[in-house]
Amino acid sequence: MPVDRPTFEETMRGRAGPPEIERCDVTDLATHRAALEELFAARSGDLVSILQGLQRMFGFLPANVLALMAARCGWPLARVYGVATFYSGFVFAPRGRHLVRICHGTACHVRGAQRLTEHLEEHLEVRSGGTTADRAFSLEPVACIGCCSLAPAMQVDERVHGRLDAGRAAGVIEGIRAADVAGQADRVGVDAPEPPAPAGGPR
């Protein structure tokens, strides 16, 4: 017997998830409506791959989209949140244009990753795990990025910056700001090693 699920509109008028999780614009939802329905239908039963698809679509997991997903796929909302919050690769607020990941692997840790983090928190005026008010930078900790000989290191987008101290790290950030203005941000730093730093896995 077919399961009676709420319609797209009914769901959007209903639950929206915890208030601390950001929602996406309803216009965004309307724009993505066909793609959302296709994703839910194609991946029914595969909760993680639907979450990955949603994050690709919106850049983060908006509360109202998670509510829609739970309703359309027939999962309790708590289960959706339970899985989404288990993996570090899922985020619940829009990231900045540049993702700054400070390595906290062993080599970087013993060479001052924590001091580097505190300095960049001060320089960017944002706590680790957050995004600057102008949405230019998101700051996150990460495990080893595969450049231990360059410790302490950080990765900004796809590029790695090594042998950092507080001044050099701030210089990298300001270089990217300046390059953004000139439209050349991708020329700052060196290419990240292959394979790229892991983004998933338990928190």
List of residues contacting ligand FES (CB under 6 A): 103, 105-108, 144-148, 151, 153
**Cβ 103 to ligand FES shortest distance, Å:** 3
Report, in Å, the least distance between residue 153 CB and ligand FES: 5
Give the shortest CB-187-to-ligand FES separation in angstroms: 22
Please identify the residue of the shown chain whose CB is closest to the bound ligand FES.
105
Phi, psi of 12 (to 5 degrees): -70, -25
Give the whole-angstrom CA distance, residue 129 versus residue 4: 39
Choice between 114 and 132, CB closer to ligand FES: 114
Which tokens belong to 178?
């300046």
Residue 66: CB atoms within 10 Å: 25
Nearer to ligand FES, 21 or 113 (CB): 113
**Taking a C-beta distance cutoff of 8 angstroms, is the pair 144, 105 a contact?**
yes
Q: Check if the beta carbon of residue 139 is closer than 8 Å to that of residue 120.
A: yes
Residue 29 or 108: which CB sits closer to ligand FES? 108
